[in-house]
Amino acid sequence: MSNINYKNALVTGATSGIGLETAIRLSESGIHVIAAGRRKEKLLELKNKISCDIIEIDIRDQDKIYSEFGKLDIDILINNAGVGRGFAPIFQAEPEDINTTTETNITSFLHLLRAVVPGMVKRKKGHIINIGSIAGLYPVSSSVYGGSKGAVHMINQNLRVELSGTGVRATEICPGRVNTEFFDVAFSDNPDKKKQMTSGLNLLEQEDVADAIMFAINSPWRMNVSMIELTPTEQVPGGSIIKKVE
């Protein structure tokens, strides 16, 4: 584990995927984990697997964010909770998907930082891991989801400036396609789109992203890993699409 004396970690979205794997890794490294998520039965399963505290919460509940997390001494924040609704073009997007995505991926994301970071600054110790996405760095034909993750990218960049001189580190992890429940939720009403997004290449596994997170945390205090971009070998972001108006 890092030579920094980190003791406690809060992991949001800890019931599956990247959050679940990271919670397990942190616990195995001797960090006390507070696991937060919506599904109580999944949290209880995790509690049976590792020694942790659990908090059942819909991350969009801002009052509960402050009442539950604002009182905790958190050394590591894994700001992971997010949703992938809103992959349709903006001119076809459902208003509900716009609200769900922006409230979860941006608004609640910011409130979580507001609740937890003051304690880190006061103690002059902490590490914030913000889970972004390749979709926040490159155009992916998704104004809603991509825009929300683009906001995460700029939040992390500004956070680095704001935290200068506090001893608190901030890292953005930007994965490409990962073999998790993400696509089940994102395309619950469009199985063909889910198949398109998950077929034809070897996806990253949640362990791969957890490896990147632990690398950033375990880095010596003098080094802040500002951003890690990781994609499946067969996924190359970027490029351009040219279509004639018909």
49-61 pLDDT, tens digit each: 999 999 999 999 9
Return d(Cα 38, Cα 12) in angstroms, integer: 9
Q: Does pLDDT of 97 surpass 50?
A: yes
State the pLDDT at residue 241: 73
- Separation of CA 167 from chain center: 22
Known active-site residue 138:
no
Rounded mean pLDDT, 67-71: 94
Rounded mean pLDDT, 132-151: 93
Q: Which residue has the tokens 């580190």?
A: 169
Q: Which residue has the tokens 């609200």?
A: 99
Show me where the domains of the chain are located: 8-229
Q: Greater confidence, 85 or 120?
A: 120
Average pLDDT, the chain: 92
The active-site residue, picked from 6, 66, 138, 145, is 145
State the pLDDT at residue 188: 66
State the pLDDT at residue 1: 47
Question: What letter does residue 201 receive in the DSSP assignment?
Answer: S
Q: Greater confidence, 3 or 43?
A: 43
pLDDT tens, residue by residue, 146-200: 999 999 999 999 999 999 999 999 999 999 999 887 767 666 677 777 777 777 8
- Rounded to a whole number, what is the distance in angstroms from the first to the last CA of the chain? 58
In the chain, which ranges are continuous DSSP H helix?
A: 17-28, 40-49, 62-64, 95-102, 108-123, 143-162, 182-186, 191-198, 206-218
Burial class (CB in 10 A: 0-12, 13-18, 19+), 231: middle
Find out if CATH 3.30.420.10 is the number for domain 8-229.
Answer: no
Q: Does pLDDT of 145 surpass 50?
A: yes
Q: Does pLDDT of 14 surpass 60?
A: yes
Instruction: Provide the percentage of residues in the chain whose pLDDT is more than 70.
Output: 95
State the pLDDT at residue 3: 52
State the pLDDT at residue 30: 95
Return d(Cα 122, Cα 154) in angstroms, integer: 24
